[in-house]
Structures are given as structure tokens and as C-alpha cells.
Structure 1
Amino acid sequence: MAPAKNSESRVLALIKHPFVETFTWLYLIAQAVLRYVFSPVPPPPSNSNSEIPKRESRAQDKGLGGIWSRVNSTSALQVHSLMYRFHPSVHYDSAYPSQQQIKEQIVALWKRYDLERRTVFETRVTSVKKNDKGQWIINNNEEEYGLFDGVVTAVGVCGDPQMPTLPDQEKFKGQIFHSSNLDGKDAKGKKILIVGSGASAIEALEFAVKSGAAEIDVLSRSDKWIIPRNVLVQSLLAMNVLGQETSLSWIPEWFLKKFFYRDLQDIAPTDDGIFTETPMANSELFDQIREGKAHWLRGDIVSVEEKGISFNHRAQGVPKGGPGKERLIEGDIIVMATGFKRPSLNFLPDVVFEEPYGPPNWYLQVFPPKYPDICANNSTFVNAIGTVGNMHIGIYTRFLIMFLTDPLTRPTEQRMKTWIDFTRFMKRFAPTKAFDFFTYAELIYWYIFVLLINPFRWKWALFVFFGIGRALPLMVVEQESAFRKELLKQRKDN
């Protein structure tokens, strides 16, 4: 009966929402095509333990899945899943999948490619350095950990929860939780105070709404751009090839205020442009505000009282700490939507942090100029729009494979620094630093430029962009290696 019911509901949905449902069906078909064409064939089963396992400092339940193992079950993807395909083989049943769906896809991928025997949990990496032969040693212990040709630092940008102490918070008679620790908490019929903004605030909002909270107040020190959960809007914003605020940025900002904010334009930013910080993606917040169930309050926390938070409510355009009207915002639960600590990269060699080429000012933002065999994948990013998924994570990793496999494609330290300086020059008028904000279209420009400037990289283009066509460049590299060996032999003989 279940399949018939599901089919019936699909048909009814198609009649009621023909455009949305048609797009959904096309998306499901597209996912099937992506899996068939671009997913690498899993390796054959092996009982060999000769391969050196990868290291992960957390336990399996908190490590496998990254940040998706450490957020609430009520959390969901904020960008359209079309823009969050961390591997071609992932399969989503909805546009904005839940935490559980995403984690299930990660675990399935981990098992499908036999990564269980290649992963060691609860092993903290404190240092990586090169030996005399140019290979990498972990924790100064070659015997225990082995030798490596390259390093991928996939620590991400979200580590442990960041939980600052509020003034006089010991007075509060209710409960205080971090936004990532809300599963199992009873919020039904209660007043929720959310401290902070950004993705963590959206996570807390989703919990409060799904838990049946009576009232939700978001207390934010500053205004932040909010965009709808709409793949068209998100894609158009990500198409800014310059990756910065320009004289034309007022156009998307005007459209957002006019057609998305509408009657709530007083909570839209007035000083910061859409291309300066990562916007929040949520369509539910405004609905909750219009229904009177939620409020977005701009201001500063003065102190915590028994029944809530004493809050200095500022008007639009008044800076942090500026004048406002102080009042008590009552609540039963305070949720600290204060984000996460950024994981440290201190295990990398000291030289990669030397200015003016310290992170995020690296080649393609992830390769330190001294070492093209280090790929800090998704670990140096600051702010961006539409830049998640295998479309760039996979590309960066395949750049690393190309550099390790083909010596003629490797950039020299000076050329890497020249590229960084060139990017700084191109973005010299940006309100943020060159690598503090970028868009997906800007990344595509980077990739194409870097491939085109070196003819030896041309043969790798299909592999770098799509993960296919590796046989041809490998064959060419073998021929080049054989030629170099023969040439070296002839020189020795002469």
C-alpha cells in the first residue's frame, strides 16, 4: 500500500504544484545520470591491510560525517541540494535534505568505497613535516604512521561549539543550550531566545518551529542578509564572477528587499552588501515573523535576568553599542547561536603561515605557496555564496592528484605567489580582502585560468573538472617519464 500511496501523493502534488514537482522529477533523473556517468567504480573487496589508513581525531560517531554528526536532527541543508553534492553518487529525495539524510549519504559513501579499513578514528595529528626525500611524516613517527606523498587537511571550518558566557547568566531561571545541542530538549509552548545570527540561528529557529515553541525572539548584534531557500535565487547570486561588491550589486539587493523582505525591509542590512558575508538561507523566518510567532531584534545584550535578557534594542543603521531602547525580552530557554570554533591548522609547517602568504591567501585558496602537495580542502574559507559540494571539493582534490602525478603541472612557489598577488590586484576594490569572500562563479574562473596558463595541464582538464578521462594523461605522463629516464641515461653515458 505504501508505494501506491506515495505515487498518489506525487500525482496530487504534480497537479497542485506543476512547476515545483516537474523540477523535482527532473532533479531525480539528473541525479541518476550523475551517478551513472561520474561516480568512480568502487574498489574491489580486499583483506589487505597494507594501505596506510587516514587519520581522524574524533570518535567515529562524532567524526564520520563531519559537522553533520554534531548538529541537531531538526537541522536541514540551507542551500539547495543541487549545490551540495559532495560526491556524484549521492542521492537526495528532497531539495533541502535533513541532517539524517545527509549523514546517511556520507556513511553509505564511506562504506561503498571501502573506507572503513582506511580510516582510523581518535588519532590526533599534531604535526606534518617533510623528510629528506620529500615525503610527509605524521607526528614525527614514521614507523607508526608511515610516509605520505601528499596531505589533505579536511578539518573544515566548524570545530567544537563556541559558547561564550553572557553577563549575569547565572541569574537566569530557565535553561541555556548551544544551538547544536537541542535534540531531546522540550520547547513546546515555551518562549525561545536565540542569541546570535547566521547559520546557527537558522538551526535554532528550525528546532524551535518544529518543536512547537510559543514564541521565538532572535537577538542579533548586527543585520545579516537573508535569502530564500530557492535554487534559482541562490544560483544567480553565485554567478557573480568578480566575487565582490560592485556598482551593480544594488540590483540583487533591491530585488531581495522588494520581493523577499517586502514589509520587513527594516531588518535588512544597510551598511554591508550581499557580497561581503555569507548570507543566511531561510524562507521560514519571515513567515514566522509575519504570523507574530517570531521577532528579529537588532541590538546588544546588557545582562541576563531571572526571566530573560535585558536587551538594548537599536534602530536600523545604528552601529553595535550605539543608542537604543533597553527592555526585558522574556524567555524560558536561551539558545546560544554563537557558532563553532574554527579548527586549528597548527599541525602544518610554520612556513605556510608566514605573511603575506598565510591562509586564506594561498594558491587557489587551498595550496600554500611552499607546498603544492598540501591541499587544505574546505579549511581556509571565510565567507562565500554557493560554493559547497564536489563541484569544488572534488576539483581541488583532483588538482592535488594532478600535481602529485605529473611533475610538469606543478606550480613553482614563485608562480603560486604571483597568482595570489594577481587575485589581490583584481579584487583590490573589494570591500573585503581578496580571499575573505568569493562566489562559485569566481572559483570556476580560477580553475579555468589555472588550467589554461600551463599547456601541460590541458590534458588533465576533463579529469580535474569532471573526474573522468584519467587514462590519457596518465599514459602521457608515463611516456614523459620514460623519455626523461632515457635522456638522463644518455647524459650519464656521454
Structure 2
Amino acid sequence: MDAVQQLHEVVSWPRNAVIYVFQVFYRLFQVGIILLFSPNPPKNDHQPSDKPFGRIAVIGAGLTGVSSAAHCIAHNFDVVLYEENRSIGGIWSHVNSTSGLQINSMIYRFHPGVFWREGFPRRDEILGEITKIWKQYKLESRTRFNTKVTKVRRANETGVHEKGKRSKWLINDGEDREFDAVICTVGTCGKPMTKGFEGEDKFEQNGGWVVHSSELDELSGSGEDEDEKSDKQESNGHANGHSKKSFDVRGKTMIIVGSGASGVEAAEWAVEKGADKVWILARDDKWIIPRNVVFDTFLSMQPFGREMPLSFIPEWFIRKFHYGDLAERVAPAPGTRGLFEGTPVVNDTILNHIRCGKVVYERCDTQRFTSEGVLVKKHTDKEEEVEIKADVVVLATGFERPGIDFLPEDLFPERYERPNLYLQNFATEDWSVLLTNAAYQNAIGTVGHFHIGIYTRILLTFLLDKGARPEGEDMKLWVDVLRWFKRGARGGALGFFTYMELTIWLFTFHLLRPDRLRWIFFIMQGWGVTYEDADRLRVE
């Protein structure tokens, strides 16, 4: 056995050496990004209020909201950050501690100032970085916790289409005075979606458990204090009569309804906690791609944002080298769901769990609960119905999409609703309303990368430079042109994009309007527009 162990150490040494060198390089790389691109934070809580260029309301204190507010403050715009709950972090404050990034943190730099210790950090590290930016940029005094935004209205009746004029905004009752712009960062994940199935009560009365995937930490009692548990239960709107403190999944059978990212993470959680058997019930197959930063970046570099004639090449590689012997059992069948038609799941371990028998992947439709488990209809020629017995059923059914009904309806006329917005994030009726990541649906790339700062600085440029502002018809034309280029794409032209496609949008934003080129280093890199410019620049 010692000889085998020594041989294993000899074989693994080169791999460990490569990993070590990469980690050193990545940390040095992050230091360079921080030094080059991280804007200077204010020296005190009152710095931007002396001569601010303008005032901006940011709705939602998640990752995108905190980052957007930090960029505004750094460039001498005052902000008020509204948060419905009593903590920052958005969806990351409502998921399990085992939840982590689906992509490498190298392409999840939501602010230049973040410093990741792991390639695929989990919830606590992500929340730690969000909190660090929030504190570093003096946002504590500017955050309104427990404040739900119910209404955003114009302070004047002048619309943006009146030449030379623009809207100003009031939030709720207007207690925070007028704002020059609004950044809506409510994200794409709201309250857990708890789809009800017939017979659920009967299953629970017989001693079974039904929980949402976001509640799994509560089952093991890990990672949360009593206030956090209370917040999560209130947010989920779901709690059964069991004593969560005494629950233990070891040796039990767990069914997971749903095969998306939350379902895969729930299966990993169950295996880690020692569940005897785990079932994933997949209504349809999601693409699972490897946790490889080079390969994943390559996929996100596809510039067309849709299935193309050669898309079968990366799909073949994934089937052959990632799925392997599981391709027919787990991967989407050829011709059913293209790789560039929906957000993939990024995971390395779940396929090994399926291969080893720790997790059973079943293609089926969930019909209803029974007293001992779940009745499903298998996806076979016979479509047979079978009962799968279990102790726990996890609803990995995702999260409700947050509504934006607090914004004026006239901002989103027919055919220009989410996600059909200017640059996918600006309301076509008023450029002073930005919905960063709130119009996102599907992509290969990330919603937590450098574009957050770029979109924020585009808005700041509009506020600073009247000549750079787009007209309403121009914004609609951009949407229409993209629809024409991507006609026939499943989900619509803006329903799916790659990160390269998004980058192309941002560069053409400058190239098609040469008068904006003087702002390119500010918009793309964040250089310039500081407190020292207060006397030279002013919101018009």
C-alpha cells in the first residue's frame, strides 16, 4: 500500500505543481487588476456630497447593486441604495453555504477590487467580497435596509423624447429627494419557486420531508444564525412542521425534482451529507460543461450568441470527453437542445456521482406525491408510471423572476419589454433607467463580471455629456437590428447571448458614434472622472 501511495504522489506531483503555479499567477494577476482598474474609494462618508455630478438611486443591494453603487461613488456621483431585506448580497444571502460559482472566478470580477482565494468560491467567500466592497466605498450610510421600492415616478412630466430635456425620478414617497437616474438591479432570482404537487400533504403526514433546494442548510443547521433562518423562512414562504434542528439525511433516500444548477448542487450536498441514495428527476436535459476556465472561456468567445452550423463541434467534444459513457443517459439528445440555446450547468463532480451509482439520473415527468414518495412518468416509448420511494423530496424548481412593476409602464412599450432593451439593459424610452442584469435570461458567460462597471459608466457618461445620449428611436433601432441579425434564434434575439457578443455590443456603442470615443477609456477601463473634476464636469 505504501508503494502505491508513493507512486500516486509521484504521478500527482506535476499536476499539483501546475495548480500551484496557476494559483500564484492568478493572485498576482488579481493584484494587477486591482492596481490598474479599481477606482479610488471616497476618503470619508461625505466626500461625494460636496460637489456631486448627480444623484442616482440603486434598487437592490445584491452583487450588481453594490458594485454599481460603488462605481457611482468612486466617480463623484452620490447614491442611495435601496434593499428590501435587512442584509446585502441578494440571492447569495439566500442560498446554501455549499452553493458556489458555476464559472471560474477569473470571469466573475463584479468589481475590480475583489480578490478571490478560490477558483470556484462558495457562498461565504462571495458574500465576504460583496461586503468588503460595500464597506470600502462607504455605502453603509447610503443603504436603506428594509425598504421595498413600490413606486418609481417622474419628478417632472417631461419625458426624455423632448429634445434637450430628460426625466428626474422620485422613489416611493420622494423622501430622498430627486434622482438624476435609476439603476434597477433586482436580478433574475427572487423568492423560491415552490411548485405544488398533488399529494404533498399525504407524503409529509407519513413522515416525509418536502423542502426547496435553498433550504438545505436549514436541514443540517449549518452556516446560519437564528435571525438568518427566520429571514429565509419568511422569504421562502415554505416550512413544514418538522424540527429542522434534528434532521439528518445520512442513510436516507432523497429525490430532487429538477436537473438545473440548483438540482445538481442539491445532489452534491446530499452526497456530502451521506445520503444513501439520491435521485435527480429531469424533465428535460440541461447541458453540463466542465469546470475548466480555458474551455468555458472559449465557449463564451462565440460571437454570434446562438446556435451556428459549427456548434456541433464543441457539443461533440463535451459529449465525448466530459460525459463519456453517460452521454446517452444524461446529455441532451442531438437536435433537441443546442449548447448555445440555454444557460449550461458548470460541474465536474455530478457525472462521477452518477457513474458511481451515488446519484440516479431519471428522465421523467413528476406526476404527484404518494404517501411514500413520488409518482413519475418515465420518458420511454411506453411512458410507464412508477413510484420512487424516498424520505426527502427537494424541489429544485428555481426562483421566481423579480418583477419591475414599480417602474412606469411607459418605459417598456410593446416589443421593447425585458430583455428587448437598448444594449439589453437600458429602457428604450428613457436612457436614465438602467436595468443591469435585471433583463438577463440565458447566456454562456456570466452576469457578475466587468460589464457591471461598464454599463454604470455608460449611464454616468450620458449624465455628463448631453451629446453622447441616445435618442429613443436610436435605441429601438438597435434592438430591431439585433432582432434581424438573430432572427430565428430560439428564445429571441436577446433571450440568449455569449460574453463575446456582449463585448461586441459595447465596442460598437463607441464605434458607431465617434463623438463617444473620447469617453472610451472612462467607460471601458474606468479611468478619469474623479473628485478633482468636480469644477470641470457637471450634470446638465
Q: 1:256-267 counterparts in 2 under 5 A?
A: 256-266=318-328, 267=330
Q: Name the counterpart of 1:67.
A: 91
Are 2:294 and 1:232 aligned? Answer: yes
Q: Name the counterpart of 1:189.
A: 251
1:203-231 deviation digits (Å, cap 9, x = unpaired): 31232122121211110111111111111
SS of residue in 1 equivalent to 2:376: strand
SS of residue in 2 equivalent to 1:334: strand
Are 2:525 and 1:438 aligned? Answer: no
Structure 2 unaligned spans of 5+: 1-9, 50-54, 56-77, 159-165, 220-247
Q: Name the counterpart of 1:205.
A: 267
Q: Name the counterpart of 1:28.
A: 27
Partners in 2 of 1:18 and 1:49 — Cα distance? 47
**CA deviation after TM superposition for structure 1 residue 106, in Å:** 0.5
What letter matches 1:268 in structure 2?
A
Q: Percent identity among equivalent residues?
A: 40
Partners in 2 of 1:47 and 1:413 — Cα distance? 36
Given that 1:369 and 1:416 are in contact with CA atoms closer than 8 Å, whether structure 2 keeps it comes out as: yes
Q: Name the counterpart of 1:492.
A: none
Match of 1:296 among 339, 357, 361: 361
Partners in 1 of 2:143 and 2:268 — Cα distance? 33
Given that 1:459 and 1:472 are in contact with CA atoms closer than 8 Å, whether structure 2 keeps it comes out as: no
Given that 2:112 and 2:450 are in contact with CA atoms closer than 8 Å, whether structure 1 keeps it comes out as: no
SS of residue in 2 equivalent to 1:97: coil
Are 2:466 and 1:412 aligned? Answer: no
Of 116-125 and 19-28, deviating more is 19-28
Of 178-187 and 363-372, deviating more is 178-187
Partners in 1 of 2:448 and 2:375 — Cα distance? 41
Given that 2:255 and 2:280 are in contact with CA atoms closer than 8 Å, whether structure 1 keeps it comes out as: yes
What letter matches 1:363 in structure 2?
Y
Q: 1:117-266 counterparts in 2 under 5 A?
A: 117-132=141-156, 134-139=166-171, 141-142=173-174, 144-172=175-203, 173=206, 174-185=208-219, 186-266=248-328
Q: Name the counterpart of 2:349.
A: 284
Given that 1:152 and 1:377 are in contact with CA atoms closer than 8 Å, whether structure 2 keeps it comes out as: yes
Partners in 2 of 1:403 and 1:47 — Cα distance? 24
Given that 1:225 and 1:268 are in contact with CA atoms closer than 8 Å, whether structure 2 keeps it comes out as: yes
What letter matches 1:204 in structure 2?
A
Q: Name the counterpart of 1:378.
A: 437
Match of 2:80 among 54, 68, 71: 54
Given that 1:176 and 1:335 are in contact with CA atoms closer than 8 Å, whether structure 2 keeps it comes out as: yes
Cα 1:161/1:273, change in 2 over 3 Å: same
Partners in 2 of 1:213 and 1:408 — Cα distance? 62
Q: Name the counterpart of 1:43.
A: 42
Q: Name the counterpart of 2:519.
A: 460
1:108-139 deviation digits (Å, cap 9, x = unpaired): 11011110001011111112122236443334
Given that 1:135 and 1:148 are in contact with CA atoms closer than 8 Å, whether structure 2 keeps it comes out as: no
Partners in 2 of 1:477 and 1:406 — Cα distance? 12
Partners in 1 of 2:446 and 2:319 — Cα distance? 23
1:408-427 deviation digits (Å, cap 9, x = unpaired): 11110011111111111110
Cα 1:48/1:265, change in 2 over 3 Å: closer
Q: Name the counterpart of 1:423.
A: 482
Given that 1:57 and 1:121 are in contact with CA atoms closer than 8 Å, whether structure 2 keeps it comes out as: yes
1:310-361 deviation digits (Å, cap 9, x = unpaired): 111114xx7xxxx522222121111100111111111111112221111111
Given that 1:53 and 1:117 are in contact with CA atoms closer than 8 Å, whether structure 2 keeps it comes out as: no
Structure 1 unaligned spans of 5+: 1-10, 482-494
SS of residue in 2 equivalent to 1:384: strand
Q: How much is the aligned-residue C-alpha RMSD, in angstroms?
A: 2.5
Given that 1:55 and 1:123 are in contact with CA atoms closer than 8 Å, whether structure 2 keeps it comes out as: no
Partners in 2 of 1:338 and 1:396 — Cα distance? 31
1:219-273 deviation digits (Å, cap 9, x = unpaired): 0111111111111121111011000001111111111001101101122112010
**CA deviation after TM superposition for structure 1 residue 21, in Å:** 2.5
1:141-162 deviation digits (Å, cap 9, x = unpaired): 33x1210000000000001111
SS of residue in 1 equivalent to 2:461: helix
**CA deviation after TM superposition for structure 1 residue 465, in Å:** 1.3
What letter matches 1:404 in structure 2?
L
SS of residue in 2 equivalent to 1:390: coil
Cα 1:444/1:71, change in 2 over 3 Å: same
Are 2:401 and 1:345 aligned? Answer: no
SS of residue in 2 equivalent to 1:96: coil
Of 210-219 and 124-133, deviating more is 124-133
SS of residue in 1 equivalent to 2:25: helix
1:55-97 deviation digits (Å, cap 9, x = unpaired): 4342223xx0111100001111111111111111111111100
Cα 1:60/1:12, change in 2 over 3 Å: farther
Q: Name the counterpart of 1:7.
A: none
Of 30-39 and 15-24, deviating more is 15-24
Are 2:102 and 1:103 aligned? Answer: no
**CA deviation after TM superposition for structure 1 residue 107, in Å:** 0.7
Partners in 1 of 2:43 and 2:12 — Cα distance? 42
Partners in 1 of 2:539 and 2:85 — Cα distance? 44
Given that 1:175 and 1:332 are in contact with CA atoms closer than 8 Å, whether structure 2 keeps it comes out as: yes
Partners in 2 of 1:412 and 1:15 — Cα distance? 58
Of 388-397 and 244-253, deviating more is 388-397
**CA deviation after TM superposition for structure 1 residue 13, in Å:** 7.9
Given that 2:42 and 2:48 are in contact with CA atoms closer than 8 Å, whether structure 1 keeps it comes out as: no
Cα 1:361/1:145, change in 2 over 3 Å: same
Given that 2:151 and 2:407 are in contact with CA atoms closer than 8 Å, whether structure 1 keeps it comes out as: yes
Partners in 2 of 1:355 and 1:451 — Cα distance? 27
Q: Name the counterpart of 1:487.
A: none
Partners in 2 of 1:349 and 1:283 — Cα distance? 44
Partners in 2 of 1:59 and 1:78 — Cα distance? 25
Partners in 2 of 1:313 and 1:196 — Cα distance? 14
Partners in 1 of 2:11 and 2:324 — Cα distance? 31
Of 442-451 and 48-57, deviating more is 48-57
Are 2:352 and 1:308 aligned? Answer: no
Given that 1:372 and 1:411 are in contact with CA atoms closer than 8 Å, whether structure 2 keeps it comes out as: yes
Given that 2:83 and 2:143 are in contact with CA atoms closer than 8 Å, whether structure 1 keeps it comes out as: no
SS of residue in 1 equivalent to 2:299: helix
Given that 1:86 and 1:391 are in contact with CA atoms closer than 8 Å, whether structure 2 keeps it comes out as: yes
